[in-house]
Structure 1
């Protein structure tokens, strides 16, 4: 069976880099698009996590306070 290639819509963009970073990347034959895409995906994941934590900070604090006062709800069933 052959491989199925995933086709994704791409959007061209310009990125400005310091000259030394550009030259080092070129010298190492790095794929700028692939490196930038991976870095953007990680930055997006991290920012979504940060925003989720900020949006849910009150619930997280209340839950942590409950656990401190009452322990874990199912602690008696833990095997470790």
Structure 2
């Protein structure tokens, strides 16, 4: 059964943004809050990905070294090159 994700709680926040850009966005009917939230979510996800790679770099490099030295498991059964 699928369940709905809970609605995120909103927090009023003060931002300093280029006033000309805000005016142009409003003129174009853009939802500045939604766009800012989407951009922030994207930046947070990208940074989390960077941190995960940093934290796991050693293990990833070790796996890469192992496969470079020993080859991929079951490679003799691969039907493609």
The two structures share one fold, judged by TM-score above 0.5: yes
Number of residues paired by the alignment?
Answer: 77
Partner of 2:15: 15
With normalisation by structure 1, the TM-score equals 0.80
What residue ranges of structure 1 are gaps of 5+ in the alignment?
none
Q: Please list the CA deviations of residues 29-63 of structure 1 after superposition, one character each: whole Å capped at 9, or x if unmatched.
A: 11011101111111111000000000011111111
Q: Distance in 2 between matches of 1:31 and 1:12?
A: 15
With normalisation by structure 2, the TM-score equals 0.79
Distance 1:67 1:12, change over 3 A: same
